[in-house]
Amino acid sequence: MEIIKYPAKETWNVLLQRATQSVADIEDIVAEVFENVKVKKDKAVCSYTHRFDKVQLDDMFVSQDEFEESISVLSQELKEAIRLAKRNIEKFHRAQDIQGERITTSKGVFCWQEKRAITNVGLYIPGGSAPLFSTVLMLVCPAKIAGCKNIVLCSPPNKEGKIHPAILYTAQLCGVSNVLKVGGIQAIAGMTFGTESIPKVSKIFGPGNQYVTVAKQLATKYGVAIDMPAGPSELLVVADESANPAFVASDLLSQAEHGVDSQVICVSTSVEVLEKISVEVYAQLEKLPRKEIAKKSIENSKLILVSNDLIALELINAYGPEHFIICTENNNFYCQGIENAGSVFLGNYTPESAGDYASGTNHTLPTNGHTKAYSGVNLNSFQKTISFQKISEKGIQGIGPAIEIMAEAEGLFAHKNAVTLRLNSLKNKK
Amino acid sequence: MEIIKYPAKETWNVLLQRATQSVADIEDIVAEVFENVKVKKDKAVCSYTHRFDKVQLDDMFVSQDEFEESISVLSQELKEAIRLAKRNIEKFHRAQDIQGERITTSKGVFCWQEKRAITNVGLYIPGGSAPLFSTVLMLVCPAKIAGCKNIVLCSPPNKEGKIHPAILYTAQLCGVSNVLKVGGIQAIAGMTFGTESIPKVSKIFGPGNQYVTVAKQLATKYGVAIDMPAGPSELLVVADESANPAFVASDLLSQAEHGVDSQVICVSTSVEVLEKISVEVYAQLEKLPRKEIAKKSIENSKLILVSNDLIALELINAYGPEHFIICTENNNFYCQGIENAGSVFLGNYTPESAGDYASGTNHTLPTNGHTKAYSGVNLNSFQKTISFQKISEKGIQGIGPAIEIMAEAEGLFAHKNAVTLRLNSLKNKK
């Protein structure tokens, strides 16, 4: 791996650039699927499932038999691991259920916020080579804790018309029974408009490929909210002499194996540390089953040497990594200074894969620099905050005149009148 | 006003439908402006300002002289009213700064969340007939409390090339000096791409007409976050015999005067109450300066009679009003049962205009049924939540084996290896 030494600030933009994806050619097919699903509903969904997933389904719903089969085919140790992860994820997300207090802003003017679950949510779990049952945990656990009433989970069927048993086991364990074998654009379109089988939802969550990403973007045009824009996964590690180079290399590789477009960056103030990490990366790479993928993304990855912690921090905030591992003697400095990141991992014994599976934090995180404006999925993602206010007679007498003046200055006389009427009625009372 | 009596549930969908806006014809001009601003930057912005706002500007920035002039021309009582509102808004939004606690999910596994301000935010304040200085308060106060470093405020110039002094006074009072005379699509495009004068931002806030709404939607395609999709303002009141019909009528009218597309609904279990309110609406309407506007939106509005509180609540949640006034003997029932609403007003002395200006709650709220998935603007809108985790040696020994099993089941061996290496090193330690 090449070490980029002391890059000038003017070059950061180019250096930290993500691989851009051209979506213009995808937009046409996404718009076509949306149009068809909107009009022909289930019939269109089934026909796209046949075309894209190469399977003809009689029924989109996962049956009770299929759920039960999933329990019987999974190993006991995997089921126990999933349950451990579930407990930790629930514990962390339950602790996010914080209610604000009632505030008296002026005498007799009481304001507060209350949180309410989003009633109808749609969760998307990608298919493909890896069955992402861990993502089921990450989406269903907070949805359940928030109290979402109707949860639908869509995931593409394989060529045998099945969903991986680990996904079904996890969905069932978390209490979701409404699982549909539908993937890709047609799943997102189905949840956007609703079909005979697929319920219409108010918000769609979950990762996916470029097609799913563009489809989610289009869904927002039809008034459906989404968790966040998705993109290839990424990791930035800041390391010094206190870091274990083998551990850092293993983290870089665990990110690199996700896909050839995954991005991996390691920042250090020590060229020796970077060199040691590079050696370890190549040594470990050879032993990986997904080594061809990891090799490609390692080629696009960067070891960056900077002159001090301040510059390192500035560079890291300019990049805004999805995953950020801090292995330095100065962990507090980075902890306090980090402004843009999805999830932060501290110290030698906190690998990124802990957060991917079982530490309790959520792994559905903003990528592609979206950390600058978006949070990862958390309990709040499944809730709305509603404001409440109650004003007493004394209260409106206190703030009423200010409202009258402001409403008049904005030319809104009915707004003013709503206050004037009340103030007059109180005068008459006396 | 017509009273709709006991509508069957099957008819609610049509009954509660919002006026739909066709945006297809707007999309072309929005896309054109974005393309031009992206490439030609300030030059394009100025040319669109000339075309749409009919004014040629030498400098987009509001000068210090203009700020100072705004102080001198505003009345003392308006300045005091704005300061009172500011104090209440700050008090309420400051109380939203709640930090979570550090959780031990498993022994030696520590997880927590921290909030960070979005560094670069763009605020849009519409021009037009009413100078919305109150919206300046609603956007700048939480941005400042969150700690956003760079705040840019865009608002269209009038034909004299000026922004209303109340907007400038309020911006300055709240500590925003970066105010640009640029409006409409070109303002949103400018903040999306950045120009020589307009800074690029990560998130855009604020209301606007259809052009601004479509432009904000397009901005999300370029990776810029937005507060929420906007739409015409709306109010739903639930009232019984305990409500003051004149007060309710004044609230309905204060909503109706916003624009001909504003929507007003009143729900009651008593036909007499609805009749009294209707009489009051027409009596008060005559005296309003904006009566032509209010009359048109009152024509589209609905008085709905239902048989009991349960059905009323169900109907209200199906609608999901932006503003929701509760004036009943049973306020608690509605308070607890409301799932979809932007801001809730309780009792006879809590007019909607209090929340618009000075109670302290935010008036930037989801409309058009978006209350089902979106919150109104609040402190969190200007922050991101970052997850942190720190795992001890004991901690990774506890959860490590579960991670290994899960990673292997997902086919991600480098993820597994990142844990295995660490567990082995700890075995060797013993």
Query: How far off is chain A from B58, nearest CA to CA, in Å?
Result: 28
What is the radius of gyration, based on Cα positions, of chain A? 26
Closest-CA residue to A237 (of A219, A250, A228, A227): A250
Global ipTM: 0.96
Query: How far off is chain A from B83, nearest CA to CA, in Å?
Result: 9
In chain B, which residue's Cα lies nearest the Cα of A418? B250
pLDDT digits (tens, 9 = 90+) for A329-350: 999 999 999 999 999 999 999 9
Which residue in this structure is represented by tokens 């990608």? A126
- Residue A430's pLDDT is what? 59
Distance CA B105, CA B112 (A): 10
Which positions in chain A touch B357 (Cβ < 8 Å)? 402-403, 406-407, 415
- Bridging pattern class, strands B120-124 and B203-205: parallel
Mean per-residue pLDDT over chain B, rounded:
95
Inter-chain CB proximity B343 and A387 less than 8 Å: yes
pLDDT digits (tens, 9 = 90+) for A93-103: 999 998 888 99
Which positions in chain A touch B364 (Cβ < 8 Å)? none
Model confidence at B193: pLDDT above 90: yes
Mind telling me the catalytic residues of A? Answer: 322-323
Inter-chain CB proximity A421 and B250 less than 8 Å: yes
Confirm if B154 and B180 have CB atoms less than 8 A apart.
yes
**Residue B102 CA to its chain's centroid (Å):** 31
Model confidence at A66: pLDDT above 70: yes
**CB atoms inside a 10 Å sphere around CB B308:** 8
**A4 vs B23, which has greater pLDDT?**
A4
Distance CA B18, CA B320 (A): 11
pLDDT digits (tens, 9 = 90+) for A246-262: 999 999 999 988 888 88
Query: How far off is chain B from A260, nearest CA to CA, in Å?
Result: 14
Inter-chain CB proximity A100 and B98 less than 8 Å: yes
Closest in B229, B371, B385 to A384, CB measured: B371
For B185-220, b/e burial (b = at least 16 CB within 10 A) is bbbbbbbbbebebbbbbbbbbbbbbbbbbbbbbbbb
Interface residue of A403, A424, A426 to substitute, partner B, most B CBs within 10 Å: A403
In chain A, which residue's Cα lies nearest the Cα of B77? A405
Which positions in chain A touch B98 (Cβ < 8 Å)? 98, 100
In chain A, which residue's Cα lies nearest the Cα of B85? A402
Angle between helices B393-409 and A133-146 (to 10 degrees): 110
What is the pLDDT averaged over residues B365-385?
96
What is the pLDDT averaged over residues B405-427?
95
- Residue B99's pLDDT is what? 84
Q: Which of A116-120, B285-289, B358-362 has the lowest mean pLDDT?
A: B285-289
Query: How far off is chain A from B7, nearest CA to CA, in Å?
Result: 23
Distance CA B414, CA A281 (A): 11
Distance CA B207, CA A142 (A): 31
Confirm if A344 and A355 have CB atoms less than 8 A apart.
no
Fold of B23-229: Rossmann fold (3.40.50)
Structure-token pair, residue B301? 């509005």
Q: Which of A390-404, B21-35, B373-387 has the lowest mean pLDDT?
A: B21-35
In chain A, which residue's Cα lies nearest the Cα of B244? A422
What is the pLDDT averaged over residues A368-390?
97
**CB atoms inside a 10 Å sphere around CB A158:** 17
pLDDT level of residue B262 (50, 70, 90 thresholds):
confident
Interface residue of A292, A327, A388 to substitute, partner B, most B CBs within 10 Å: A388
Inter-chain CB proximity A98 and B96 less than 8 Å: no
**CB atoms inside a 10 Å sphere around CB B293:** 19
Interface residue of A17, A20, A105 to substitute, partner B, most B CBs within 10 Å: A105
What is the pLDDT averaged over residues B360-389?
97
Does the domain formed by A391-429 have CATH 3.30.565.10?
no
Closest in A369, A409, A414 to B250, CB measured: A414
Confirm if A100 and A112 have CB atoms less than 8 A apart.
yes
pLDDT digits (tens, 9 = 90+) for A138-179: 999 999 999 999 999 999 999 999 999 999 999 999 999 999
Inter-chain CB proximity B417 and A341 less than 8 Å: no
Query: How far off is chain A from B35, nearest CA to CA, in Å?
Result: 14
- Residue B264's pLDDT is what? 92
Which positions in chain A touch B413 (Cβ < 8 Å)? 257, 288-290
* Residue B370: active-site member: no
Inter-chain CB proximity B356 and A415 less than 8 Å: yes
In chain B, which residue's Cα lies nearest the Cα of A400? B354
How many contacts does A have with B, using Cβ atoms within 8 A? 425
Inter-chain CB proximity B103 and A84 less than 8 Å: no
Inter-chain CB proximity A421 and B370 less than 8 Å: no
Model confidence at B379: pLDDT above 90: yes
What is the pLDDT averaged over residues A172-197?
97
Mean per-residue pLDDT over chain A, rounded:
95
Closest in A229, A348, A358 to B403, CB measured: A358
Of B93, B164, B258, B323, the active-site residue reads: B323
In chain A, which residue's Cα lies nearest the Cα of B214? A221
pLDDT level of residue B205 (50, 70, 90 thresholds):
very high
Interface residue of A123, A260, A389, A429 to substitute, partner B, most B CBs within 10 Å: A389
Inter-chain CB proximity B373 and A384 less than 8 Å: yes
Inter-chain CB proximity A421 and B246 less than 8 Å: yes
Backbone φ and ψ for B289, nearest 5 degrees, come out as -60, -35
Closest in B131, B340, B415 to A356, CB measured: B415
Model confidence at A363: pLDDT above 90: yes
For chain A, give every domain's residue range.
Answer: 3-20+232-364, 23-229, 391-429
Which positions in chain A touch B250 (Cβ < 8 Å)? 414, 417-418, 421
Model confidence at B366: pLDDT above 90: yes
In chain B, which residue's Cα lies nearest the Cα of A223? B370
Inter-chain CB proximity B335 and A392 less than 8 Å: no
pLDDT level of residue A48 (50, 70, 90 thresholds):
very high
Sheet holding B234-239, edge to edge: A103-106, A109-117, A383-391, B343-346, B323-327, B234-239, B263-268, B302-305, B3-5
Inter-chain CB proximity A339 and B116 less than 8 Å: yes
Inter-chain CB proximity A418 and B358 less than 8 Å: no
Instruction: For chain A, give the percent of residues with pLDDT over 70.
Output: 99
Interface residue of B386, B424, B427 to substitute, partner A, most A CBs within 10 Å: B386
What is the pLDDT averaged over residues B103-127?
97
Query: How far off is chain A from B392, nearest CA to CA, in Å?
Result: 6
Closest in A88, A287, A374 to B105, CB measured: A88
Backbone φ and ψ for A245, nearest 5 degrees, come out as -60, -35
For residue B307, give every residue at least 6 positions away whose Cβ sits within 8 Å of its Cβ, in sequence order, or none: B6, B269
For residue B114, the cross-strand partners are: B386
Task: Tell the CATH superfamily of the B3-20+232-364 domain.
Answer: Nitrogenase molybdenum iron protein domain (3.40.50.1980)
Inter-chain CB proximity B348 and A422 less than 8 Å: yes
Model confidence at A361: pLDDT above 70: yes
Closest in A290, A343, A359 to B109, CB measured: A359
Model confidence at B178: pLDDT above 90: yes
pTM for this prediction: 0.96
Inter-chain CB proximity B414 and A288 less than 8 Å: yes
Model confidence at A19: pLDDT above 80: no
Q: What angle do CA B314, B319, B323 make, to 5 degrees?
A: 110
For residue A334, give every residue at least 6 positions away whose Cβ sits within 8 Å of its Cβ, in sequence order, or none: A238, A309, A312, A313, A316, A326, A328
- Residue B23's pLDDT is what? 73
- Residue A280's pLDDT is what? 96
Which positions in chain B touch A133 (Cβ < 8 Å)? 406, 409-410
In chain B, which residue's Cα lies nearest the Cα of A86? B105
- Residue B122's pLDDT is what? 98
Inter-chain CB proximity B414 and A254 less than 8 Å: yes
Inter-chain CB proximity A340 and B95 less than 8 Å: no
For residue B233, the cross-strand partners are: none
Please check whether the two domains, A3-20+232-364 and A23-229, share a CATH topology.
Answer: yes
